[in-house]
Structure 1
Amino acid sequence: MAEVQTIHDVACGFCGLGCGDLTVEVEGRDVRAKGSLCPEAARLLRRLDTPDPMARVAGEVASPADAARAAHQILAAARAPLIGGLGVDMAGAGAAVDLAIRFGGVLDHYASDGLFRNYAAVQRTGWLSTTLAEVRNRCDVLLVVGDDPTATWGRLFERLYPVTPLFADQGRTVVFLGGAPGDKAKGQLAGAAEVIHHATPDPVAVLEALGSLIAGRRPPGENFGGIGADTLAGLAEDLRNAHYAVVTWNAADLADGDLVAERATALVDTLNVTTRAGVFPLGGRDNIIGVNQLMLWRLGYPLRTAVQGQASSHDGTLYATQAALGDADVLVWVSAFRPEPPPAFGGKIIALAHPDTVFDKEPDVLIPVGTPGVDHAGTVFRMDSIVSLPLGALRVATLPSVAEAVRRIAEG
């Protein structure tokens, strides 16, 4: 029986929060989280000491070399590949870009909808964004727009609002503007901040009214998005009097995410005339921030970019995954962090996938890959874009990394 090894201060690369204090037990190739942490990390870190799935070509078991050769042949004959999913570490992201440069294709991350809703606001107005550390240490009034974000980021308020902040010692308030905080959020904020909830079906209208009130203009009407004008006037006064106010939201879960981002940005701009404030957009799932950064460094464009020959072109609408699938004849689906299945697609599919992935349609080529931070070391970016996190291997790998699998495909 293998000895149980306890590993402390393990970094998690799944949701973008970049928690680096996890404790994991490793017994042979069995990996399990120990202690209390978010269910998402516990689920995605869990591994059993069982044989890994084999590569397959047309549904038949194949050697890694044969699978790579089959993928190479499909890409060499492709007219318009889409390289999607892109749940990869930085080395895997670089390899995916190399693949697009060699064979051509559109590059997009499966979770990019929220990113591009935020981009729409940034392109129109710019914004003053803050970091996780700044929120944690200085923010005394936090405005949370939309549903309780702990459903996606399980330890968000634990990370943002410690019981003893570094500088913000004048009392702290978290205002939920939309969905009510759940028990998890309330538990994390207990003793750290006062919690206030204002229900609204229309956060855009509320943010617009708040911006006017902060600027000293009372808009006509007695109710905005279901919240009374006097209540909003009191909230505007609290924001004006804050030492460091922050507005946060998850654009991916908001139908009007781009408008929420724009109104939040305008509100923060107004606050910064007399005090200090910032926006803190939520995101970062499966290293989307790192993949986007790498594409900017390598190609000069973000995600949703097409590479053809020596040229690249970007279109945030035309090259979004669902739109690009309409023109693609080959989908290269890459998801190493989680068993995220590919979207429905009628053309050929090459899947570099998490070993637990369940497919509605058998890929033409399946190459199971290891997970960064479990099977092999890697690097990811935190959701606020400024911190890169090294992920360590927790067990001996028997599956290739995405970078290794892509290199084999390129070599044919």
Structure 2
Amino acid sequence: MADVAIETIEDVVCGFCGLGCDDLRVEVEGRELRAAGTVCAEAARLIRRLDVADRPASVAGAAVDLDTAAEAARHILLGARATLIGGLGTDMAGAGALTDLAIRFGGVLDHHASDGLFRNYASAQRTGWLATTLAEVRNRCDLLLVIGEDPAGQWGRLFERLFPEAPLFAEGRRRVVFIGGAPGETAQRQLGHADISHLATDDPVAVLEALSVLSDGRMPPGEAFGGVPAAELAALAEAMGAAHYVVATWNAAALDDGDLVAERATALVDRLNVTTRAGVFPLGGRDNIIGVNQLLLWRLGYPLRTAVRGQASTHDGALYATEAALADADVLLWVSAFRPEPPPSFAGKIIALAHPETVFENEPDVLIPVGTPGVDHAGTVFRMDSIVSLPLGALRVATLPSVAEAVRCIAEG
């Protein structure tokens, strides 16, 4: 057999973490894929594919064809009392098809990464906020506050994207202040051209509260806040007042008090905007959660954690969160096309539209392996700042259905 030629595809868009990096290089050798050049570890792992036979669809662990699996899934949904459509790791076409499915069969819709989103919502609903975009941070921010643990472990190219060496508009030496965990090796390398400082604290809420008071020209009582000396915070408040564009960023999903961090960061930004320019940049976006959430808002008028029953929709951010909804459900329709994310433990029936490499604790009642958007088929996702939709291209010929195709097979039988 002749050797298969290696094709290199340039400027590939990555849809996995929400940063929307669009400069990846991928080598294609037949059906094998591998990332090359500048790429984070997560993208390299999730893009990597070998030329192996596809995992078959199955019913009760026995291999079947797609039509048989779809018919079995439809039968389970028709007999369900309460269905949770969870995971929701899919592109926009898949999200639209799943919404149609919920309208037809009923069910609660929630994304597996929605905890951080709703911690941020809790703050935005109470106070509102002035949010910025990736492009604004990249090109205008001259003082960045990173609250909580170093996020570069989850977003491998975050600081490369947020703080390039040659921004369009920001002038002078830029500064990054870590409030909480120390910057890791990746962050330090990507921020080598910026001034980095670290305020070690296990109480970022107290630090943000003190910074708000200091930014208002008042001195809070006490010698330290969250373990950080008042003098250090006063110096930072002075620097923020002198900055052209201050941005506060955090990962609410990694913070037990993420809603309070969001609220205090928002209050600080409000104070700063009286005399300078500032904004918040909450982190998130994994597996197109922003896009799925946007689609539900357009289609149903409610975000994630919404129940659809009898052509009516009801939203409850606590009652319809995955963990709470599973307590009342008898069927879980689990969707994870971007990564081999297994479903949570569940005693009821499970229908899985899953990445073919998913390892299950217990074999699903119905399994339909699906292709990955941006690898096996084209699609669209949203970037984490919610204003930019990103087109994903296919890197190889698909032999598995997309989520949208699998859902249509279930619905139209």
Q: Which TM class, normalised by the smaller chain length?
A: over 0.9
Counterpart residue number, 2:289:
288
2:156 is the counterpart of 1:172: no
Counterpart residue number, 1:68:
70
- Structure-1-length-normalised TM-score: 0.99
Counterpart residue number, 1:47:
49
Figure out how many residues of one structure are paired with residues of the other and give that number: 411
* Gap regions ≥5 residues in structure 2: none
Structure 2: how far apart are the matches of 1:180 and 1:170? 24
Structure 2: how far apart are the matches of 1:120 and 1:378? 31
* Gap regions ≥5 residues in structure 1: none
Structure 1: how far apart are the matches of 2:385 and 2:86? 23
Counterpart residue number, 2:157:
155
Q: Deviations over 1:80-111 (max 9, x none)?
A: 00000000000000011011000000000000
1:11-22 matches, within 5 Å, as 11-22=13-24
Counterpart residue number, 1:298:
299
How far did 1:294 drift?
Answer: 0.2
Structure 1: how far apart are the matches of 2:121 and 2:362? 33
- For 2:346, give the aligned amino acid: F
Structure 1: how far apart are the matches of 2:196 and 2:230? 20
Large movers: runs of 4+ above 6 Å: none
Q: Which SS does the other structure have where 1:406 is aligned?
A: helix
2:216 is the counterpart of 1:215: yes
Counterpart residue number, 2:316:
315
Q: Which SS does the other structure have where 2:353 is aligned?
A: strand
Structure 1: how far apart are the matches of 2:187 and 2:27? 27
Counterpart residue number, 1:264:
265
Q: Which SS does the other structure have where 1:74 is aligned?
A: helix
Structure 2: how far apart are the matches of 1:337 and 1:56? 20
How far did 1:382 drift?
Answer: 0.1
Q: Which SS does the other structure have where 1:17 is aligned?
A: coil
Structure 2: how far apart are the matches of 1:310 and 1:6? 48
- For 1:307, give the aligned amino acid: V
Q: Deviations over 1:257-312 (max 9, x none)?
A: 00000000000000001110000000000000000000000000000000001100
How far did 1:15 drift?
Answer: 0.3
1:228-247 matches, within 5 Å, as 228-247=229-248
Q: Which SS does the other structure have where 1:68 is aligned?
A: helix
1:251-400 matches, within 5 Å, as 251-400=252-401
How far did 1:170 drift?
Answer: 2.2
Structure 1: how far apart are the matches of 2:107 and 2:85? 6
Instruction: Output the aligned Cα RMSD.
Output: 0.5
Q: Which SS does the other structure have where 2:328 is aligned?
A: coil
Structure 2: how far apart are the matches of 1:279 and 1:359? 38
% identical equivalent positions:
76
How far did 1:68 drift?
Answer: 0.2
Counterpart pick for 1:142 among 126, 141, 144: 144
Structure 2: how far apart are the matches of 1:404 and 1:36? 33
Counterpart residue number, 2:204:
203
- For 2:15, give the aligned amino acid: G
- Structure-2-length-normalised TM-score: 0.99
Structure 2: how far apart are the matches of 1:364 and 1:59? 7
Counterpart pick for 2:125 among 123, 126, 131: 123
